[in-house]
Amino acid sequence: MFKNAAELIERAVMKEGSIAEVMIQQEIHEKGKTRDEVLQTMEERLDIMEQAVDRGINEDVESVSGLTGGDGKRLAAYAAKQNTLSGPVLLDAVAKAMATNEVNAAMGTICATPTAGSAGVVPGTLFAVKDQLNPTREDMVKFLFTSGAFGMVVANNASISGAAGGCQAEVGSAAGMAAAAITELAGGTPEQSGHAMAMTLKNMLGLVCDPVAGLVEVPCVKRNAAGASIALMAADMALAGIESRIPVDEVITAMYKIGENMSDDLKETARGGLAATPTGRRLETEIFNISLDRS
């Protein structure tokens, strides 16, 4: 059992050869299952992710509240027709990340990676780089094991909960997981995956969780978009040989301490941040038809 990212990376380098393989062996040991059974379970998760991406991009998805829906599809259409500023791979990742999270907001089936509110980043980036990197289905399954390994490190040493640590713990963690997995899928070393995770999370420290009307919609969907874009940027930086000056485990610890110091108003309570703006309060009133007089 690896306790932190340093142990995970060391084990990958010295024994298993990849982050994904470390996590696969961990699952075999913990679950008492065969390798084929472990891979099959993760492939089923991959299928769910793919279905959510396809639905969000190709169907007219809208949440019950009416706050979100259709933006992933709208961005995909824009990217297909325009000479865009951000480029096709990044916008594809952003569109698919948003689309997945919109499916979640519409009560569709998704995989929490690591939470429902951050469920778009990992699949969004994976299916965006698919055409460029041409991975096999098994490679894509291993991508999920790599992201899961880093997610486990965060969960065991900090938090993946917006209520405990702010959105840095949700979308921040998801983006770091995605960055590490993209790096490995693209041929990077375990050490480079760690740097990608660190550089991603460093850029999302302090991100508050302030859902309008208490719903996992605004600004959550668009934060998945930001997480996907940062993950791709950090993966490219790591693959270029750029290193994080602060080790990934120390970044994770810093995130935990920041979350501990964060006001409860900024941790999924809908009492602060964007939820407390005049428009946020108006939307809450319209959705729930309640008085917003709060003591």
The reported pLDDT for the residue numbered 290 is 59
Of the chain, the percentage scoring pLDDT greater than 90 comes to: 96
The model's confidence at residue 295, banded by pLDDT at 50, 70 and 90, is very low
The rounded Cα 129 to chain-centroid distance in angstroms is 15
The DSSP secondary-structure symbol of 169 reads I
Structural domain range at position 29:
5-288
Higher-pLDDT residue of 292 and 152 is 152
- Summarised one tens digit per residue, pLDDT across range 177-236 is 999 999 999 999 999 999 999 999 999 999 999 999 999 999 999 999 999 999 999 999
Total structural domains within the chain: 1
The reported pLDDT for the residue numbered 1 is 81
269 found inside a domain: yes
What backbone torsions phi and psi does residue 209 show, to the nearest 5 degrees?
A: -110, 105
295 found inside a domain: no
Helical axes 173-185 vs 19-31, angle rounded to 10°: 110
76 found inside a domain: yes
The model's confidence at residue 82, banded by pLDDT at 50, 70 and 90, is confident
293 found inside a domain: no
Q: Is residue 196 within 8 Å of residue 248, measured between CB atoms?
A: no
148 found inside a domain: yes
The CATH number given to whatever domain includes residue 144 is 1.10.4100
- For residue 110, how many C-alpha atoms fall within 13 Å in the half-sphere facing its CB? 31
Please classify residue 241 by burial: count the beta carbons closer than 10 Å to its beta carbon, then call 0-12 exposed, 13-18 middle and 19+ buried: exposed
Kindly report the length of the chain: 295
- Summarised one tens digit per residue, pLDDT across range 9-53 is 999 999 989 999 999 999 999 999 999 999 999 999 999 999 999
For the chain, give the mean pLDDT: 96
> Which tokens sit at 209?
């969780």
Check residue 294 and give left, alpha or beta (phi > 0: left; psi -120 to 50: alpha).
beta
The reported pLDDT for the residue numbered 289 is 86
Of the chain, the percentage scoring pLDDT greater than 70 comes to: 98
294 found inside a domain: no
As a whole number of angstroms, the distance between CA 287 and CA 64 comes to: 10
51 found inside a domain: yes
First to last CA, the chain: 47
Mean pLDDT to the nearest integer, 53-65: 97
The reported pLDDT for the residue numbered 100 is 98
104 found inside a domain: yes
**pLDDT exceeds cutoff 70 at 130:** yes
**pLDDT exceeds cutoff 50 at 292:** no
